[in-house]
Amino acid sequence: MTDQQPTASESKINQIKALFAKGNDPGVTPEEAEIYLSKAAELMERYNLDEAILQVEAAGGVVTNEEIVKFRWTINTKGGHAISRRTAYFAVIHAMGARGYYVEAKKQRYVDREMTITIIAQASVIESIKLFLPAMELTMERLADQEAKRATREAKYYGTLYSNTGCNARRGFMIGFGEGIAERIRASHKAIKDQYQAGSTGALVLANRVTALDTYMDKNHSDLVPGRGRQRFDEGSRHLGKQAGRAYASPNLGSTGQKAIG
């Protein structure tokens, strides 16, 4: 008697879990961890869409609203760069099909300040975001630190160093990195959307997600106002960050990232 083979759904979940486990293995390099975690998030997103389509087909083609939930993400405030990090995260969150708002708790001491983003989306989208953001943060902080050091060394060499050279480079890189990732995600979403003909189950599911989330936000968060503007940043570093973000999670992530900041 042979063991029962896993279903296609179970196999996909097992694949996602295996990638996630590899990404969190302390024995892998940061570059490998980034690739594993990002690939897991990508597969999770596609899997969730496929599952939603199957549910609609099982219900005779009736598209119902998926549950909309919230997830709170704490922003690293180290170095006074929280606003730039927030800008990067929001670009990616919106590209992934979610909405959100931030809250900044200003305590007496600067080091005690806290900033969180409340992310709002369908439960399946939130699951993808939960996987993606930790991987993004890992990469962004590492590459932004390298860019800050590079800009500082270069400024010292040319005699143009000033107090915020490294800070502005770091901030610019993080902002650009988020923008680059957002561009890649939107392109990926367009490719997925283009696979479905108008009126197909997949097209209806995707369109319903957008409409349902917009309706939810209008009903429950119509009082949201724009937050504070961006911090000062270096435009050249932003461009390099965008290059790295566009290449994020590609097979040659490590080499691409190094070229983008070298």
The string of DSSP letters for 162-192 reads -TTHHHHHHHHHHHHHHHHHHHHHHHHHHHH
Q: Are the C-beta atoms of 87 and 230 separated by less than 8 Å?
A: yes
Question: Cα(185)–Cα(205) distance, rounded to whole angstroms?
Answer: 18
Strands 68-75 and 99-105, sheet pairing: unpaired
The verdict on residue 83 lying in a domain is: yes
Neighbours of 161 (CB within 10 A): 15
pLDDT in tens, 167-219: 999 999 999 999 999 998 888 778 777 877 777 888 888 888 899 999 999 99
Q: What is the pLDDT of residue 112?
A: 57
What order do you get walking across the sheet with 68-75 strand by strand? Answer: 68-75, 114-122, 99-105
Q: Which helix (H) or strand (E) holds 77?
A: none
pLDDT in tens, 60-112: 777 777 889 999 999 998 888 999 999 999 999 999 999 999 988 766 555 55
User: What is the three-class DSSP state of 78?
Assistant: helix
The verdict on residue 2 lying in a domain is: no
The verdict on residue 133 lying in a domain is: yes
Q: What is the pLDDT of residue 257?
A: 35
The verdict on residue 85 lying in a domain is: yes
Cα dihedral 74, 39, 90, 28 in deg (nearest 10)? 40
User: What is the three-class DSSP state of 252?
Assistant: coil
For 76, which DSSP code?
P
Q: Which of 169, 175, 144, 143 is nearest to 156 (CA)?
A: 169
Length of the chain: 262
Q: Are the C-beta atoms of 231 and 86 separated by less than 8 Å?
A: no
Instruction: Flag whether pLDDT at 253 surpasses 50.
Output: no
More confidently predicted of 77 and 248 = 77
Q: What is the pLDDT of residue 254?
A: 34
Tally the domains of the chain: 1
The verdict on residue 1 lying in a domain is: no
Distance of CA 45 to the CA centre of its chain: 12
Task: Look up the domain containing 119 and give its range.
Answer: 8-261
Question: If you average pLDDT over residues 141-168, what whole number do you get?
Answer: 93
Handedness of CA 4, 53, 212, 196 (dihedral sign): positive
Instruction: Flag whether pLDDT at 127 surpasses 60.
Output: yes
Instruction: Flag whether pLDDT at 222 surpasses 50.
Output: yes
The verdict on residue 3 lying in a domain is: no
